[in-house]
Structure 1
């Protein structure tokens, strides 16, 4: 079976054209304008909510010394401008005391702007799993999109979108832990296997307290083990377990490493052709 490698969905350029037709010929058009920073407003559809104070301070200090090198992307809304991409740079520029900010102005509607903001953040890996899930949910609800349509736009498999959205079914406290990076999305997906909400929360607290890995949580969800670290005994080399964890986090699916005397085996689970294509994309980057 041959699998065609694909890029990130239709890409940003497919959503927002940077070409203009002159004398029946396509020509590149990208004009940067310095706009009064007071006329620029954040995008309410911005999926990223956490910007990191230390990183923002570093960028602010850099802008004070070197200015803003990379312009932000905006669209005109009445007599002001709404940010499509670059809110972090805008925040740092304001903190640095800039009066004007370099902008690329795009003529797009609200829906395209929202999609662009999501894709830009995904490409930069700026979103935590909960911000990403909320953004997918908002796109689907506000613009009446299916999971397949969202997947096509952001270059993910439908199963990836579905699994990410499922994180929002967790207890609010667990969602908060994932947002803060205290739990991984892998932990969250494993916790969904525990139907009892009270036990789900207890296990989440035990994960943080005792540094349980995803496989531990899956065993608890399958009722094979209790939820304390002491009761979890594995004959597998801890280094192999850590490597499995890294691979599962990277690939977004279950990975099992089996050691032999002279050779070993890697098992990677996938759920349908689209999920296989997604995994191959990751492995071949």
Structure 2
């Protein structure tokens, strides 16, 4: 119980302290080097397994490597002592620089050593990447989901701490309800986050996504395409004599909002003209079920 309370105690030491560490890193257009705490052998530095950034473009890595070859590493990596091996350092922010340094075969790299717990490590990694626009929309959303379900934070707390609007966080997390093929299009840059948002409530997002990409549709045109494809047809009599009722836009939007808040698929079946209905939550793992139970028990 003590461990769970510790995990759910809030955003670490406070955002101001974490932001101070991130802000010690100069912006890309600034050339003044930051004084590192120390230089450490590159083989003693390991990546963070919970790093929210998952995509590293080879071309960008080699471009950064050439910059490091001529100018060195201007921005020290933020690291902590590896909790699994005290002889190593785990990257908190700067994995791309670490990878590029390996390409040019640097033996030592500059680091800033910080005493972060697991919550703070993930938060700093997200902050550092978001500030530099390094994360694509799917990676950013996945980072928010980690903070919510692994550490028990709410969308409201994240929005306040990270300086984002709640709607921004909610809209991004709704993208995680899209099929993997559509998410991959966003990760690869074939589909923008704006286009992807129009597909969240669509009944056939994969085929619509392919159409948007093939025709190079604008976001406004994509919205019209989704609206036209979602237009309800005249109800057809079912074998039982009942009629299939299409869900209205408000119901689908509510399903999307609840799905984003829980990071689980939510279905609402409301009986027309009645107060009663059914809400179904589908979980994909026991970890999600545990998180849902904890959320319901704490209110």
Would the TM-score normalized by the shorter structure come out above 0.5? yes
Q: Which runs of 5+ in 1 are unaligned?
A: 1-9, 19-29, 227-285
Coordinate RMSD, CA, aligned: 2.1
- In the TM superposition, residue 224 of structure 1 has moved relative to its aligned partner by 7.7
After superposition, the Cα gap between the structure-2 partners of 1:162 and 1:155, relative to the gap in structure 1 and judged at 3 Å, is same
Correspondence 1:75 to 2:80:
yes
**Which residues in structure 2 correspond to 1:78-117 (within 5 Å)?**
78-117=86-125
Local SS of the residue matching 1:201:
helix
After superposition, the Cα gap between the structure-2 partners of 1:53 and 1:47, relative to the gap in structure 1 and judged at 3 Å, is same
Of residues 46, 64, 83 in structure 2, which corresponds to 1:59? 64
Local SS of the residue matching 1:173:
helix
Of residues 156, 162, 175 in structure 1, which corresponds to 2:170? 162
C-alpha distance in 2 between matches for 1:53 and 1:61: 12
Correspondence 1:189 to 2:197:
yes
Misfit runs of 4+, over 4 Å: 10-13
Correspondence 1:131 to 2:136:
no
- The CA deviation string for residues 159-187 of structure 1, in whole angstroms up to 9 with x for no partner, is 11111000011111111111111011111
**Which residues in structure 2 correspond to 1:167-246 (within 5 Å)?**
167-194=175-202, 196=203, 199-223=204-228
After superposition, the Cα gap between the structure-2 partners of 1:64 and 1:31, relative to the gap in structure 1 and judged at 3 Å, is closer
Local SS of the residue matching 1:223:
helix
C-alpha distance in 1 between matches for 2:187 and 2:222: 19
C-alpha distance in 1 between matches for 2:191 and 2:177: 15
Correspondence 1:15 to 2:18:
yes
| Structure 2 counterpart of 1:6 | none
Correspondence 1:39 to 2:39:
no
- In the TM superposition, residue 135 of structure 1 has moved relative to its aligned partner by 0.7
- In the TM superposition, residue 71 of structure 1 has moved relative to its aligned partner by 1.0
Local SS of the residue matching 1:48:
coil
- In the TM superposition, residue 62 of structure 1 has moved relative to its aligned partner by 2.2
Paired residues of 2:36 and 2:110 also in contact (CA < 8 A) = no
Q: Which runs of 5+ in 2 are unaligned?
A: 1-12, 22-34, 232-299
- In the TM superposition, residue 11 of structure 1 has moved relative to its aligned partner by 8.9
- In the TM superposition, residue 193 of structure 1 has moved relative to its aligned partner by 3.0
- In the TM superposition, residue 58 of structure 1 has moved relative to its aligned partner by 1.4
C-alpha distance in 1 between matches for 2:213 and 2:20: 45
| Structure 1 counterpart of 2:271 | none
| Structure 1 counterpart of 2:296 | none
Q: How many residues are paired up?
A: 203
| Structure 1 counterpart of 2:289 | none
